[in-house]
Chains A and B, each alone.
Chain A
Amino acid sequence: CKPLMSYLQDERLITIHLFFCFHRDISMNNITELPANVFRNLPYLEELRLAGNDLAFIHPEALSGLHQLKVLMLQNNQLKTVPSAALKNLHALQSLRLDANHITSVPEDSFEGLQQLRHLWLDDNSLTEVPVGPLRHQCNLQALTLALNRITHIPDNAFANLSSLVVLHLHNNRIQEIGKNCFNGLDNLETLDLNFNNLNTFPEAIQTLPKLKELGFHSNNIASIPEGAFRRNSLLRTIHLFDNPLSFVGTTAFQNLSDLHSLMLRGASMMQDFPSLTGTINLESLTLTGTKIRSIPADLCEDLTVLRTLDLSYNEIEDLPSFQGCVRLQDISLQHNQIRQIDRGTFQGMSSLRVLDLSRNQIKFIHRDAFLSLSALTNLDLSLNSLASVPTAGLSALNQLKLTGNVELRNGLMSKSLPKLRSITVPYAYQCCAFVACDSAVNSAEDDERRNAFGGEEEMERIPLVMHCSPSPGAFKPCELLLGSWM
């Protein structure tokens, strides 16, 4: 429906055309007032857009006659209360936008006549409490946002009759406490967004939400997640809980969540026990960092067969189990732990593994065959450990190798099993000579001398040029091993 002004020719044409108009967009027009019966010629109107005007008041009869109206957009205006009188007879209304106004109060009868209402936006207003009364009869409501208001608490049975509600957004409020039964009645709720509030305790009220799939309570003040926290929410797919001062997580909190694809737990600083993930069989990404966890369950990979990324960095892990069952793992981060050795079976069978970070541990020993099956590994970081030697068998695809900070690693690296290496960092400059073209001044006599320095009987071969090796040898860091090492 074009604006009226553009149809000046044939008045009868205008009148007919308008009569059968279904959509009207008069947004962003600085309209300050809607007089009575202003849309009386548009009985078939289904969508009316009044967004972005300056409406502070709507005459009770302004919308009368709009019996077919399904969508009413009043967002971005200056309303201080819900214009309940004007809405009363919109019996076909399904979507009502009242977001981005200055609404502080919702009269009890606000939505009384709106029996077909499905989608209600009340976000970005100044509400200090959930409009429990006005929502009481909205059994057809499917999506509601009360985000970006000043709501401080949610009383019990706040949404008791909203049995059709699927989506509830409450993010960016000031919610500190919620009743244990505040979500009673939301039998079909799938998405609950409590992010960016002031919750001090875990929202146990979620236990009355059997259909919940998406839950967010990140950026709150929650210190602990109790045992069995989600035991009644078995359909959960995503849980966003980062940016909480977590110090404790119940070991049974994340069990039997067979639809959960990703779990991210950071900085639960007092957590000591690895959470049990039995039954959580479709996890593809697990991040558990910044805890006091010292060991990983031996049966971890029995359940997590589709895991692709595992980040257990910044814990206190000493020993590693075998990750053999996690056959799809592509990325393992174990840096910043207290791991001492890598056994033969630790990474056995992990032919999909591409990135392995074991830096900043205390690894003294790596079994000769530890990397044998890592045919897809491209990045291996062993820096800042206590290694005296590094096995290279199996690393045919390795592209980047980091060994800096292994001060006991004095011998040269046998590069023949690293054909694809393009970048390497080593403890000592002379070790780069095996990988990069050293100064031309070096003659064959020095070549022999260097070969002896690298353990004599094993042939020191040069592989095709490595693009980057550091610390690179130079005038003051010759290829010879002189009196210990030059860093």
Chain B
Amino acid sequence: LHKQGSGVSSQGCQGGCQTCSVYNGCLTCKPKLFIHLERDGMRQIGVCLASCPNGFYGTRSPDRNDCIKCGSECDSCFNRNFCLRCRAGSYLHKGKCMESCPDGLVPSDTKKECV
């Protein structure tokens, strides 16, 4: 196990990890993968994913890709202000989650959208 001090290693790591530690899982990911921090009791465990879990969206930058939380009313989103799928009780219209639809549109419970 190739240690880099304080328990950080770059071998024997799970999935898409680049470096990891026994206590906190992945610390950095292989290129193009998103790092996501899962809560495990008091601990935060880093995991490397090709797509962020529900309720999070991926932000890419040259040196790091992160999973960031969507807005509270959103189940899946493109970025913080543009929702792809709303939580129960609201309807999607052009990236926004609405409790009632704009004039001319009606809520569809099956699609969870204003149609």
Contacts and interface: CB of A to CB of B under 8 A. Distances in A.
Is the A/B pair a real complex?
yes
Given A124-B32, A188-B94, A148 B60 contact: yes
A141 B39 CA distance: 35
B103 to A, nearest CB: 17
Interface in A136-172: 142-143, 145, 147-148, 164, 166-167, 169, 172
Contacts of B102: none
A166 B50 contact: no
What bracket does the count of chain A residues touching chain B fall in? 20 to 34
A126 to B, nearest CB: 12
Contact of B95 (A27, A51, A143, A196): A143
Contacts of B95: 142-143, 166-167
Contacts of B81: 167, 190-191, 214
A83 interface: no
Given A76-B33, A148-B62, A164 B94 contact: yes
Interface string A271-298: 0000000000000000000000000000
A95 interface: yes
State the main secondary structure of chain B at its contact with A.
loop
B78 A76 contact: no
Nearest to A164: B94
Interface residues of B, number: 18
Nearest to B61: A172
B66 to A, nearest CB: 13
B61 to A, nearest CB: 6
A273 to B, nearest CB: 33
Interface string B32-54: 11000000000000000111000
A63 interface: no
A143 B51 contact: no
A147 B94 contact: no
Contacts of A28: 15-16, 50
B51 A97 contact: yes
Contacts of A196: 61
B79 interface: yes
A119 B60 contact: no
B60 A191 contact: no
Interface in B1-26: 15-16
B88 to A, nearest CB: 17
A381 interface: no
Contact of B79 (A75, A95, A124, A167): A167
B50 A52 contact: yes
B60 A147 contact: yes
Contact of B50 (A75, A95, A164, A172): A75
Contacts of B33: 52, 76
A480 interface: no
Given A52-B50, A143-B82, 18 more contacts: A27-B51, A28-B16, A52-B33, A73-B50, A76-B32, A76-B33, A97-B51, A99-B58, A99-B60, A119-B78, A124-B60, A145-B78, A147-B60, A166-B82, A166-B94, A167-B81, A167-B82, A214-B81
Interface of A: 27-28, 49, 51-52, 73, 75-76, 95, 97, 99-100, 119, 123-124, 142-143, 145, 147-148, 164, 166-167, 169, 172, 188, 190-191, 196, 214
11 contacts: A27-B50, A52-B51, A99-B58, A124-B32, A166-B82, A166-B95, A167-B78, A167-B79, A167-B82, A190-B81, A214-B81
Interface of B: 15-16, 32-33, 49-51, 58, 60-62, 78-79, 81-82, 84, 94-95
